Amino acid sequence: MPASPVTTPEFDAPARSSGTDPRLDAIRAKALAGERLSLGDGMTLYETPDIWGVCELADAVRRQLHGDIAYYNINRHLNYTNVCALSCKFCEFYRKQGDEGAYTHDLESIATETRKAIESGATEMHIVGGLSPYLPWSYYPEMMRTIRRISDVAGSELNIKAFTAVEIVHLAKIAKKYKKPDRQAGIRWVLQELKEAGLGSLPGGGAEVFDDRVHDETHKSKIRSDEWLDVHLIAHELGLNTNATILYGHIDQRRERLVHMEILRRAQDRALARLGYEGDPSAFREPGIPATEDIDTSPITLTREGVEQPTPAMSARGGYFQTIIPLPFFPDGSELEHLYGPSGLENLRTLAIARLVLYNFPHVKAFWIMQTLAMAQHMLQCGADDIDGTVVWYDITKLGGTTTHQETTVLDLQRAIREAGFEPVERDTLYRRVERDGESWRVR
Ligand code: SF4
């Protein structure tokens, strides 16, 4: 595709102090009362020049949920292959087999990485990769069993958080279980097999922006939103907690991001209803949102004061979305390199709006690996309560250069959180507090 001419994007100048836009008063009252915001409210939050008013409001809601606590974890990311059958336009990660830089890790090297992770005290392995046409189905459950065996021998409760929804669908295809008319049966089979082999939770990647126009223009061969939701809803039914993402700032419009959030919150209503939460049938329902009739239930809020937050113990009844992770698009190295990508202020605003709109998601993550630890500090003050973990290797995007070594220390994470005005709390994947005694750890 020929690159579009580069033009300077137009920005609304933000107000320098909060409290300057009276349109935010009604939204503030609704948000603090835990009432559902409309798409129109979301557009006002995007369009107001009073960005600091939006951030302050998100911070107030975040404090209703988490007080002055902010979470981090000790984790290791593992990208088992960058060989991918697809070629999404916004992706700088994938390679074709035989390309310079293409790699696939065998189970021996995954075992080595697992031992290193456990030795470093990690409580989580975060594993994602490309859709390799060259790896057999058996590689994936064997990967889970390998990690689980090493972890069990070491007496570790390491959580294997692995495979985005698009990978799960790919696995159902290579296992020859993804067949019409009941493709959901194939997804269920794969998730059950992986769970039995040791899978502990699902990350939230691959959601992009739930919109057919965006899908067809940027990642046409990838699964659509209905299949992404199928994977997560079935994972929840099987008692697996998952996360959700939104990859914004490429060809998407702000309204499309808000529709994406609306669809996510409806899917979360359904998960929380299974855990025993009662919805409010009289709550406002946004009309005209596509493709959710079969999952709709009464809206449930977690941001209202006094509402009990979902706990890992509840997962005996089913899983739920733990965290929304807004991910800004990075143009460098992708087919959409001619685009600008979102500005720092747009990133803060989108994160704050995610906190306000997704009032049934317990957590909002500032993913420092993509945005720097310095930016994550600002995000903690604009609605985020989590800054992810120590990481070490991350191949999906390469901040400020070509290296994939992106490691930070626990002390750096704790300092970043304290400087932002919060008390750092180490969590495991399921947001249980981690207690350490020398080299061993346990959750409570
Ligand atoms: S985004 Fe995922 S599916 Fe798309 S090309 Fe990159 S690795 Fe492959």
What 8-state DSSP symbol labels residue 36?
P
- Average model confidence (pLDDT) for the chain? 89
In 10 A of CB 290, how many CB atoms? Answer: 12
Q: How far is the CA of 87 from the centre of ligand 1 (A)?
A: 6
Place of tokens 């594993």: 127
176 phi and psi angles, rounded to 5 deg: 60, 40
Q: Are 130 and 94 in contact (CB under 8 A)?
A: yes
Residue-level pLDDT at 3? 40
Residues within 6 Å of ligand 1 by CB = 84, 86-88, 91, 93-94, 130-131, 166, 219, 222
Residue-level pLDDT at 201? 97
Residue-level pLDDT at 154? 94
Portion of the chain with pLDDT greater than 70, in percent = 92
Mean pLDDT score, 32-49: 94
Q: Which of 123-137, 234-248, 273-287 is least confident?
A: 273-287
Structure tokens at 205: 């990647």
More reliable by pLDDT, 12 or 341: 341
More reliable by pLDDT, 398 or 13: 13
Place of tokens 């809206």: 299
Structure pTM? 0.91
Distance (Å, rounded) from C-alpha 110 to C-alpha 132?
A: 16
Question: How far is residue 325 from each of residues 204, 234, 351, 364, measured CA to CA in Å?
Answer: 8, 20, 8, 6
Place of tokens 């005209």: 288
Ranked by mean pLDDT, the top range of 37-46, 300-309, 314-323 is: 37-46
The reply to whether CATH 3.20.20.70 applies to domain 26-434 is: yes
Best of 83, 92, 94, 221 to mutate for ligand 1, by most ligand atoms within 8 A of CB? 94
How does pLDDT run across 411-432, given as a tens digit for each residue?
Answer: 899 999 999 999 999 999 999 9
Confidence of residue 119 (pLDDT cuts 50, 70, 90): very high
Best of 222, 223, 394, 396 to mutate for ligand 1, by most ligand atoms within 8 A of CB? 222
Q: Whose CA is nearest to atom 4 of ligand 1?
A: 88
How does pLDDT run across 393-408, given as a tens digit for each residue?
Answer: 555 555 444 455 566 8
Whether residue 379 has pLDDT greater than 70: yes
Structure tokens at 374: 């310095």
More reliable by pLDDT, 395 or 159: 159
Structure tokens at 174: 């290579």
How does pLDDT run across 164-204, given as a tens digit for each residue?
Answer: 999 999 999 999 999 888 889 999 999 999 999 999 999 99
Portion of the chain with pLDDT greater than 90, in percent = 63
Give the residue from 239, 257, 225 showing the smallest Cα distance to 358.
257
Confidence of residue 240 (pLDDT cuts 50, 70, 90): very high
Residue-level pLDDT at 2? 37
